[in-house]
Amino acid sequence: MPLIVVGSVAYDGVETPHGKVDRMLGGAATYISLAASYFAPVKIVAIVGEDFAQQDIDLLASRNIGLEGLERVPGKTFFWAGVYSADMNDRTTLATDLNVFAGFDPKLPASYRSAPYLLLGNIQPALQKSVRAQMSAVKFSGGDTMNYWIADYRAELLETIGEWDFLLINDGEARMLSGENNLRRAAAKIMEMGPGTLVIKRGEYGAVLFRRECHFIAPGYLLEDVFDPTGAGDAFAGGFMGYLAGRGIDPAAKGVDFAELRRAVIYGSVMGSFCCEKFGVDRFRTLTRAEIDARYAEFQACTAF
């Protein structure tokens, strides 16, 4: 079933201990869409400038990502640059030029509005809310947020996520949003805010899926080479939501099969792990579904007991 992905499409400058790229395709919606495209039909909603290259459009199109909602306006595309620490667990932002992204006011094409799945990348909570309001038959919706909105737009954010079926954030953000250090307590408080399905990402350590009745702990896949962690969290989100949409699973429905949600988390981890293997989106240029399923099987072999 179709999945609508809303968020940034950008250019990134990235430096890691393994190299440096001054300008390459990036942005949350890009990583989410590429990862999800292996599992379900994806339609993107984003804004880019006149400088957005045809080859980048071609890459998205080659993965059958719907681009009717990719708005192109005068000006430059959102640009972000950052440098990673030696162990790649921290990064310093060097530049955030919002450019045309500053005026992003997502309007869903008519053909998008009846889609059942909606994944909102990290943008202003009020915009996330307005997108959801444009959907006529949404079954399972939710998304990501970040420390900035949690700290400075709390009321707006709570109103937005109060309508969501799921929230996907990292452990630091979960602690900040809930005011609880302990992850289980943090999760319980966040689920009281609305989302009945919560995924807390823990970087290289994996992720935990929380539901009111139970939780599922997924360790991170152990990569031998991490070249660039940029976009790994978004690729996780794309794999998770893409799997659910592709299988037509509605986690908000009564009697949903929890085993399918667990599989979605593992597919998320798998997509996040592939993302780190090359700079930027490069791994998605060659990645196949067969490789994804092989890594899923390997994941199982390395974690079952």
By CB under 8 A, name the one of 87, 90, 152, 213 that touches its own copies.
Answer: 87
Within 242-261, the residues that bind its own copies by CB under 8 A are: 259
CB of 31 to its own copies, least distance (A): 22
By CB under 8 A, name the one of 81, 208, 271, 292 that touches its own copies.
Answer: 208
Of residues 5 and 183, the one with the C-beta less far from its own copies: 183
186 binds its own copies (CB under 8 A): no
Of residues 58 and 213, the one with the C-beta less far from its own copies: 213
206 binds its own copies (CB under 8 A): yes
Judge contact between 9 and 30, C-beta under 8 A: yes
266 binds its own copies (CB under 8 A): yes
Of 60-68, 151-159, 214-222, 286-294, the window that binds its own copies (rule: CB under 8 A) is 214-222
Of residues 115 and 186, the one with the C-beta less far from its own copies: 186
Of residues 73 and 223, the one with the C-beta less far from its own copies: 223
199 binds its own copies (CB under 8 A): no
By CB under 8 A, name the one of 185, 192, 212, 294 that touches its own copies.
Answer: 185
Separation of alpha carbons 153 and 71, rounded Å: 26
DSSP bridge partners of 141: 118
86 binds its own copies (CB under 8 A): yes
Q: CA-CA-CA-CA torsion for 108, 109, 113, 117, nearest 10 degrees?
A: -70
Binding site for its own copies (CB under 8 A): 86-87, 181-185, 202, 205-206, 208, 214-226, 259, 262-263, 265-266, 300-305
